[in-house]
Homo-oligomer: A and B are copies of this chain.
Amino acid sequence: MPRRPGSHAAETNRRMREAALRLFARHGYAAVSMRRIAAEVGVQAGALYSHTPDKQTLLFSLMQDHMHELLAARAALPPVRGAEARLEQFARFHIRFHLARPEAVFISYMELRNLEPENFRVIEGLRRDYETALETILRDGAAEGVFSVPDAKIAALGLIAMLNGVNTWYREGGRLTLEEVEAIYRDMARKAVAV
């Protein structure tokens, strides 16, 4: 597959998204210029517009990809029986998935307000789909009599918020291993909704 000089479309696109993800996460969407992203990629600012129609679409695309990956990965989990086991699986999956891509997670939460209304609506819908998955587990558990949750929706949001919190402080090589963190939060989540 010969390449003409100055033609590295796929590679430049990948590097642009990678740089944007890192810079948006670190400094915020509004604080990062297209020039700065371009500098990280090693091209001039104008060249980025061959890979994204504008800055807003770049942000939206990063967030949408993250949410799609999240939903696909969850849907691909092996089926388990019983609400308790499903909750433990969810907690473990959530922590592991989110700790593996802290920048995408950070952006997908922090930059919601910088999405144009239509884009915001799309991302919010994907987020709600994910929340509903946990809500269903809690509802089933309540029906089975193994969980005690006065409001499954609120409980789901509470658990997700707690699990998300891991991303704000966990650093690889820190005091606790990933397995220890998973165990601690899985237990807290389980107990929080227990009868």
Residues of A participating in the B interface, judged by any CB pair closer than 8 Å: 26-31, 110, 113-114, 150-151, 154-155, 157-162, 164-166, 168-169, 176, 181, 183-185, 187-189, 191-194
- Do A155 and B28 have beta carbons less than 8 Å apart? no
Contacts A154-B184, A188-B193 known; A26 to B113 CB distance under 8 Å? yes
A102 to chain B, nearest CB (A): 13
Indicate how many identical chains form the complex. Answer: 2
A37 to chain B, nearest CB (A): 15
What are the residues of chain B within 8 A of A162 when measuring CB–CB?
A: 158-159, 161-162, 165, 192
Contacts A27-B113, A30-B31 known; A169 to B194 CB distance under 8 Å? no
What are the residues of chain B within 8 A of A194 when measuring CB–CB?
A: 191
A186 to chain B, nearest CB (A): 11
- Do B184 and A151 have beta carbons less than 8 Å apart? yes
A-B contact pairs, 12 of them (CB 8 A): A26-B113, A28-B114, A150-B184, A150-B187, A154-B184, A155-B188, A157-B168, A158-B162, A158-B184, A159-B162, A161-B164, A191-B193
A191 to chain B, nearest CB (A): 5
A114 to chain B, nearest CB (A): 7
- Do A157 and B151 have beta carbons less than 8 Å apart? no
